[in-house]
């Protein structure tokens, strides 16, 4: 198979932990051809969606870990699969890329994850589709409603709908003297919609990343345990990742979400679960493959390639 990857700059990869690299390595081991491109390489010209893509060769070394042939303009439909692995932020350039990829899909390209599904599933808002699994939550830009929510629950989390890696996530207590400025900052004085969630004390045991591949759960999660003095369970915020077998509740959530998300065209999804509650549905560029594989021996990238190879 010819597999094309839409990625961030290759020189920025941390290959000891990068999930996209793990997928590339597994694909190369199976004899598939790899190609790499970036967002800016996508074009719609003469009615065809194409990209300046270069053949990618893995060297097996730490530095340099790759060799990239000269890029040539190639219609996306000529690849057997195109993997959208550009990291957030999910800004308008990301949206424009999904428009181009959706056009390519109509021309016969196989895109993972499906562009429309990436747009439709905001990683924070998507939990509203599965409210039976969530802690009490609120989405609004109104300060009065946020204050009512805080008064009701006493200890809450506030976060932007377009954040990543724990950026701009605040824990707020009713007695907090900075409530006003936090709400004003996050909502831009009522001009930006945010999410509030009741604080879940089980965060002390980790923010679990439960991976779904082809609608099925990976049998291990990665519990991201906040560092001392933190409430954010994000590896980017200094959390420690510990692989664990799925709990009965993890499996219940995965069983309910896996099939419909896969049917929507989401081949790879990362569910965030704290305690018994679903907190986010990650669809842009889910990670944690290498950490789970290194700690458990389960070949997550192998499961991913199996799903790509079997997809119609």
pLDDT tens-digit profile of 72-113? Answer: 999 999 999 999 999 999 999 999 999 999 999 999 999 999
What residues contact residue 62 under an 8 Å CB cut-off, 6+ apart? 15
Q: What is the pLDDT of residue 65?
A: 98
The pTM of this model reads 0.95
The 10s digit of each residue's pLDDT in 108-154 is 999 999 999 999 999 999 999 999 999 999 999 999 999 999 999 99
Query: CA 258 to CA 15: how far, in whole Å?
Result: 28
Query: CA 205 to CA 262: how far, in whole Å?
Result: 29
Mean pLDDT of the chain: 96
In the chain, the percentage of residues whose pLDDT exceeds 70 is 100
Residues marked active site are found at: 124, 159, 209, 224, 232, 272, 280, 282
Which position has the token pair 């679960």? 273
User: What is the set of domains in the chain, with CATH numbers?
Assistant: 2-120 (3.40.50.20), 136-199 (3.30.1490.20), 202-310 (3.30.470.20)
What residues contact residue 238 under an 8 Å CB cut-off, 6+ apart? 226, 227, 230
């Amino acid at each position: 198979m010819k597999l094309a990857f839409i990625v961030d700059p290759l020189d920025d990869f941390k290959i000891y932990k990068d999930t996209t690299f793990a997928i590339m390595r597994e694909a190369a081991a199976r004899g598939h051809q790899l190609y790499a491109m970036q967002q800016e390489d996508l074009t719609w010209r003469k009615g065809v969606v194409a990209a300046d893509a270069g053949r990618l060769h893995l060297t097996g070394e730490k530095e340099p870990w790759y060799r990239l042939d000269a890029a040539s303009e190639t219609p996306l439909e000529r690849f057997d699969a195109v993997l959208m692995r550009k990291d957030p932020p999910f800004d308008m350039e990301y949206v424009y890329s999904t428009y181009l990829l959706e056009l390519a899909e109509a021309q016969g390209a196989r895109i993972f994850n499906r562009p429309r599904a990436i747009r439709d599933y905001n990683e924070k808002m998507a939990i509203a589709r599965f409210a039976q699994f969530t802690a009490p939550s609120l989405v609004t830009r109104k300060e009065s409603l946020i204050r009512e929510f805080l008064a009701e629950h006493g200890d809450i989390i506030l976060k932007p709908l377009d954040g990543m890696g724990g950026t701009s996530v605040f824990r707020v207590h009713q007695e907090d003297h900075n409530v006003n400025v936090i709400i004003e900052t996050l909502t831009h004085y009522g001009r930006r919609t945010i999410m509030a969630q009741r604080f879940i004390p089980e965060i002390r045991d980790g923010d679990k990343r439960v991976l779904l591949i082809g609608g099925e759960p990976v049998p291990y999660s990665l519990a991201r345990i906040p560092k001392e003095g933190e409430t954010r369970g994000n590896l980017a915020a200094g959390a420690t990742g510990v692989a664990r077998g799925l709990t009965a509740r993890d499996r219940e959530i995965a069983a309910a979400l896996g099939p419909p998300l896969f049917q929507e065209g989401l081949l790879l999804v990362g569910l965030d679960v704290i305690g018994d509650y679903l907190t986010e549905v990650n669809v842009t560029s889910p990670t944690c493959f290498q950490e789970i594989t290194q700690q458990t021996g389960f070949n997550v990238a192998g499961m991913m390639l199996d799903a790509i190879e079997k997809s119609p």
